[in-house]
Amino acid sequence: MAPTNRVHSCGDDLIGIDVTDSATAQALATNLRSSGEWLDVVAGIDSVVLRFDAALKDAAKALQRASESLDFRVSASSDGLGVVEIPVCYGGENGPDIDDVCQQLGLQSDEFVALHTGGQYIVDMLGFTPGFAYVSGLDGRLSVPRLEEPRVNVAAGSVGIADGRTGLYALPGPGGWSIVGRTTYPLFDASAHEPFALKPGMRIRFVAVDAG
């Protein structure tokens, strides 16, 4: 692991580890969970947060143990997860912000769709709302800021972009991303053993489809 990784206290029973990317965060989190010595391990896009039992382990000892955990080789790979094709109906009622986004970027809608479907993406993490996927790999020409006024409710299956990422809404809820389309892919299935279809490290390709 890179020597620039930083281990620091971020609460009475919390330790933060800053890393370089989401792949390293996921691999480190997996390694830490397997040790069994942490109450909780949460991976973010470029960090991992550990919770320890402050009644059994003092903060200095916990920091030392966290620092020692950095001495491992990242071997996690997304290859075994395959590439998931996500069908997206762009624009119209499904993507109410696509015209404003195209105006900001100086693109025609078909140019936007070609760029958004032209790359391969990685699920960095799930968070914000249950199952919401933060997805990296967005073409730099499609970068727009978050909406000035977030929506109170965004439909499940909505595909949004903001701050250089694509976001996928597994469940309905509030959101400030520009909604450019919607997918019928079953991002959430309450009856499934693992109800949320996407996982960190999973590779994604978006495929444009017509509204059904």
Q: Which residue has the higher pLDDT, 108 or 3?
A: 108
Same-domain check for residues 86 and 178:
yes
Q: Quote the pTM value.
A: 0.76
Q: Are residues 87 and 159 in the same domain?
A: yes
Following DSSP, what letter does each residue of 52-78 receive, concatenated?
Answer: --TTTS-HHHHHHHHHHTT-S-----S
SS3 113: helix
CATH assignment of the domain containing 176:
2.40.100.10
Higher pLDDT, 71 or 3: 71
**pLDDT value of residue 78:** 47
Domain count, the chain: 2
Domain that holds residue 43: 6-68
In a shared domain, residues 199 and 119: yes
CA dist list (Å): 178 to 72, 80, 131, 133:
39, 31, 18, 15
Q: Assess if residue 74 is contained within a domain.
A: no
pLDDT in tens, 61-74: 888 888 887 766 55
The answer, yes or no, to whether residue 139 has pLDDT greater than 60, is: yes
**Range with the largest mean pLDDT of 58-62, 170-174, 193-197:** 170-174
184 and 84, same structural domain?
Answer: yes
Among 30, 48, 68, where does a domain finish? 68
pLDDT at 175 over 50: yes
Question: pLDDT value at position 61?
Answer: 87
Residue 22 structure tokens: 């989401």
109 part of a folded domain? yes
R_g over Cα of the chain: 19
* Residue the block writes with tokens 């490290």: 201
* Per-residue pLDDT reduced to its tens digit, 76-90: 444 455 689 999 999
> Which of these three, 68, 89, 110, is where a domain ends?
68
Would you say residue 48 has pLDDT above 90? no
Q: Are residues 161 and 204 in the same domain?
A: yes
Asked if residue 73 is part of any domain, the answer here is no
Report whether pLDDT(75) > 80.
no
**β-strand pairing of 14-18 with 6-11:** antiparallel
Q: Which residues pair with 48 in a beta bridge?
A: 17, 43
Same domain, 55 and 141: no
